[in-house]
Amino acid sequence: MANTQTYAFWQFLTKYQIIIPKIQRDYAQGRKDKKTEIIRKNILEAFNQALERSNSKVNLDFVYGSIKGQIIIPLDGQQRLTTLFLLHWYLATISTNLNDDNKEILLKFTYETRLSSGRFCKALITNSIEVLPETETLSKEIIDKTWFYSSWKKDPTVNAMLTMIDAIHEKFKNKAGHWYSLTTESPITFEFLPLNNFQLTDELYVKMNARGKGLSDFENFKAWLDEQLENDSFGIIKKGHWSSQLDTTWTDLFWNNDNGDFSIDEEMMNFFKGMALFQFVANGFDENHQQADLEKAKKIYENTITYLTDYSKYISNDEFSAIMFSSQTFQLFDDIVSFLDYYSENDAKIIGLLKEVSFWKDGAENLFLQFIQKPTFSDRVLFYGLFYWTIKNKADFNDFEFKRFFRVLRNLTANTDINASNLTNVIVSVNELIKSLNVLAFLQDDQLKLTGFDGYQVNEEKLKASLINSDKTWENKLVQIENHKYFAGQISFILEFSKTGTAYDSNLFDEYSQKAMTIFDEEKGLIMDHDFIFHRALLSEGDYLIPVNSNYSFCKFRDEWRTKVFKDTGKSELIKNIFARLQAGNEKTGLVKIIEESSVDDWREGIIKYPHPFQYCEKGQIRWESETDILLLSKISKRGYYKELFTFIFYLQFLEKRENEFLPFMTNWHYDGTGNDELSCAVIDKWKIAGNNECKIDIYYEENTYQLVFKSQKDLPVAIHNILIQSFDIKDGSFFKQCDSDPFNTVNIIKKICASLI
């Protein structure tokens, strides 16, 4: 090839600067797999032979790249050039030839694939290190240096370089004289082929290097971002500071919050995508936005990936670029610098303060971690509050006001269903809260609306702020009950219990709070009692059931209490009445007593008396058509297993474990109905007569009466038939008897029939 020229590395580096471009893959010759280890040993042995024998030469074949002035950008040959760079650094070091002139030459080799790779190369050259032959592991000596950032260990290129350095040390630790041969005799060469007529693209790179791999989304994004920050219009940002921090201090922050996959590209990309979403919803449209705008907002976060997989799209005027670099959002990057600088130095303190606030789940106080992993909309809102509160107040960071602010924001966020449709209004409201250092005083502004957040919770926060501002002793009382996992900041119903006239009695609040915390506890509270004593006691006070689609629920689950019962004045009043009858410290005994003394005589009677209906209903739901037509639902499924309430209570009251009372029938049980017209009923079963014929009596409840149906598998003997027709009517070929609505009368009728059959 006419344009090809033979170079030794030192000669090449003296003439040109070598920049390994972003589009190249990580350095691979230092990988620790067996195959690479063999390649590494072979190439170093070849180098050693060439340096020891005057007539021995090694040619490393072609290195392709483009020339821009005095800069070489390799397209192929990165691996060999990097190994040669490390060999030259090592031999210069052990031969005391790493002087200022040679450092200047070696500094002309750098990496752009990751900032950490380039900075490691620079640090290796500019910082002195004593290399002794007896040093066992040179990489350990390097890692232990104060100039080595711990985050660099996560960079695969740096890791591979350290491995190669150890291999070079093992091979050349007693061969300082090789430096002269390497740089003067030039026994190791390669052929350089300039490709000035080609553009370096992913496609060309992959075609020429089958071992190559595409860049990550973040690497693509960062390459684009670097170009944007070169623009003079963004002079507010100190690019040197940005690049330096992103590669060191900020990188450490992201590594400390890594998901364990040994890469922080995804976390960094999530951070910038999340910030782009904030900028869009905060500045992209107003309260009168159209549905199309909402879809666009979701697309910005969920589909930003489409902008990040094609490097060329960054330079075009696409939506992402417009959002990240519009005149309205330009301040974003300065804010990011401000936040990351402060947070990376103070993250332990901030997480500690947030832990004191309590987010009801282990680890949830690390809002930064939640934001860069797989955030919910609520996670994003909480981080937005952290981001901008910190920027606004970092110069005079008040721990107490920080916790107050986050207690309010936590409560509002936890009790609002935040999604793409209301995110804009929520973000606007968070901005309103951030305006004032004293969030409690700010909440008392009658004009403050905080749209987007749940109105019920907003009013509660305003009330609590008013109570605290009028009497500081309220604050600890409120915080204690707010931090309870079951209530998660929503305690309006307890405040209402403590109201006397228009005032709030703090002593009553203490009393009701203690009872509420004893009963409503997801792990050990009475709400979790297997016998459902609280549910049954409450049902004796009144019908508190809530509608769920076409069914009604006894409230087995936390959200049903919090969203339906606590917010319903009538239903929550029933809870207050129960609380008033309980003695603090003896709540369980009090609930059992309420159940035993219940005088309810409608459909609730049997459910109050027995825990079994609650235990049977997996989702805690019934289908209630009327007071005499009630189905207990086992599962909400296609088959729809259920128990009819009145026959189930009949079974529990008169039949369960009473087989000897209904001879000649041997067993008693209750049959589940299904959605396939198989009706639920109580059953007296297993009477075997002549010919091994099994007979039973099914007990149904329909139209407010108990009904008996005698069934047999085969034809009955004449004597039995004659006895039955004295007690039953014949209906649709079966023995049928209609009783009344009184279960005691029904069971007596059954016993008489049984006695007649013995």
Same domain as 187, residue 114: yes
Alpha-carbon distances, residue 142 vs 97, 149, 163, 397, 672 (angstroms): 19, 10, 11, 38, 73
- Report how many domains make up the chain: 4
Q: Over 90: is that where the pLDDT of 579 sits? A: yes
- The residue among 170 and 66 whose pLDDT is bigger is 170
Same domain as 340, residue 436: yes
Q: Give residue 68's pLDDT.
A: 84
Q: Give residue 305's pLDDT.
A: 35
Sorted by sequence, the CB contacts under 8 Å of residue 219 that are 6+ apart come out as 22, 113, 114, 265
Q: Over 70: is that where the pLDDT of 217 sits? A: no
**Average pLDDT of span 110-116:** 78
Torsion, Cα of 675, 677, 680, 683 (10° steps)? -140
The 10 Å Cβ neighbour count of residue 391 is 19
**Average pLDDT of span 212-238:** 59
Considering 222-226, 260-264, 498-502, the range whose residues carry the highest mean pLDDT is: 498-502
Integer Cα distance of 127 and 661 in angstroms: 96
- The residue among 542 and 223 whose pLDDT is bigger is 542
Same domain as 432, residue 290: yes
260, part of any domain: no
Q: Over 90: is that where the pLDDT of 393 sits? A: yes
Question: 208, 230, 246 — which closes off a domain?
Answer: 208
> Exposed e or buried b for every residue in 676-712, given b needs 16+ CB within 10 A?
eeeebbbbbbebebeeeeebbbbbbbeeeebbbbbeb
Alpha-carbon distances, residue 717 vs 195, 647, 693, 700, 721 (angstroms): 106, 30, 10, 26, 6
β-pair type (629-633, 621-626): antiparallel
**Average pLDDT of span 467-473:** 95
28, part of any domain: yes
**Average pLDDT of span 69-76:** 86
Integer Cα distance of 697 and 675 in angstroms: 22
Instruction: Give the residue numbers spanning the domain of 627.
Output: 503-633
Integer Cα distance of 357 and 343 in angstroms: 18
Q: Give residue 639's pLDDT.
A: 60
Integer Cα distance of 23 and 48 in angstroms: 32
Integer Cα distance of 75 and 208 in angstroms: 8
Sorted by sequence, the CB contacts under 8 Å of residue 9 that are 6+ apart come out as 81, 84, 85, 88, 188, 190
- Write out pLDDT tens, residues 348-384: 999 999 999 999 988 999 999 999 998 999 999 999 9
Tokens at residue 541, please? 């006070």
- The residue among 678 and 302 whose pLDDT is bigger is 678
Considering 2-6, 40-44, 79-83, 387-391, the range whose residues carry the highest mean pLDDT is: 387-391
231, part of any domain: no
Same domain as 401, residue 450: yes
Q: Over 70: is that where the pLDDT of 1 sits? A: no
**Average pLDDT of span 296-312:** 42
Tokens at residue 752, please? 């008489």
Exposure of 28 by Cβ count < 10 A (0-12 exposed, 13-18 middle, 19+ buried)? middle
147, part of any domain: yes
For residue 387, the SS3 value is: helix
352, part of any domain: yes
Integer Cα distance of 426 and 406 in angstroms: 15
- The residue among 412 and 313 whose pLDDT is bigger is 412
Q: Give residue 301's pLDDT.
A: 45
- The residue among 686 and 260 whose pLDDT is bigger is 686
Exposure of 34 by Cβ count < 10 A (0-12 exposed, 13-18 middle, 19+ buried)? exposed
Same domain as 382, residue 297: yes
Q: Over 60: is that where the pLDDT of 298 sits? A: no
Q: Give residue 321's pLDDT.
A: 55
227, part of any domain: no
Same domain as 533, residue 398: no
> What does the mean pLDDT of the chain come to?
86
Same domain as 646, residue 620: no
Question: 428, 447, 470 — which closes off a domain?
Answer: 470
- Write out pLDDT tens, residues 123-177: 999 998 889 888 889 999 999 998 998 888 888 889 999 999 999 999 999 999 9
Instruction: Assess contact for 741 and 704: CB atoms under 8 A.
Output: yes
Integer Cα distance of 98 and 91 in angstroms: 9
Tokens at residue 310, please? 């094609």
Instruction: Assess contact for 450 and 432: CB atoms under 8 A.
Output: yes
- The residue among 297 and 87 whose pLDDT is bigger is 87
Question: Among 189-203, 316-330, 336-350, 732-746, which stretch is predicted with the lowest mean pLDDT?
Answer: 316-330
Same domain as 663, residue 575: no
Q: Give residue 635's pLDDT.
A: 72
**Average pLDDT of span 391-417:** 95
Integer Cα distance of 337 and 242 in angstroms: 7
Tokens at residue 450, please? 């905080």
Same domain as 589, residue 712: no
For residue 108, the SS3 value is: coil
- Write out pLDDT tens, residues 282-293: 765 444 444 445
Instruction: Assess contact for 487 and 562: CB atoms under 8 A.
Output: yes
For the chain, how long is the longest CA-to-CA vector?
124
Q: Over 80: is that where the pLDDT of 387 sits? A: yes
Written as one letter, the residue type at 199 is: Q
β-pair type (58-68, 188-194): parallel
Integer Cα distance of 391 and 606 in angstroms: 61
Percent residues over pLDDT 90 in the chain: 59
Q: Give residue 622's pLDDT.
A: 95
**Average pLDDT of span 408-427:** 91
Same domain as 156, residue 43: yes
Same domain as 626, residue 653: no
163, part of any domain: yes
Q: Over 80: is that where the pLDDT of 261 sits? A: no
455, part of any domain: yes
Q: Over 90: is that where the pLDDT of 662 sits? A: yes
Same domain as 736, residue 611: no
Question: Among 73-82, 171-180, 571-580, which stretch is predicted with the lowest mean pLDDT?
Answer: 73-82
Question: 591, 609, 633 — which closes off a domain?
Answer: 633
Q: Give residue 424's pLDDT.
A: 85
In the block, tokens 């009955």 appear at 716
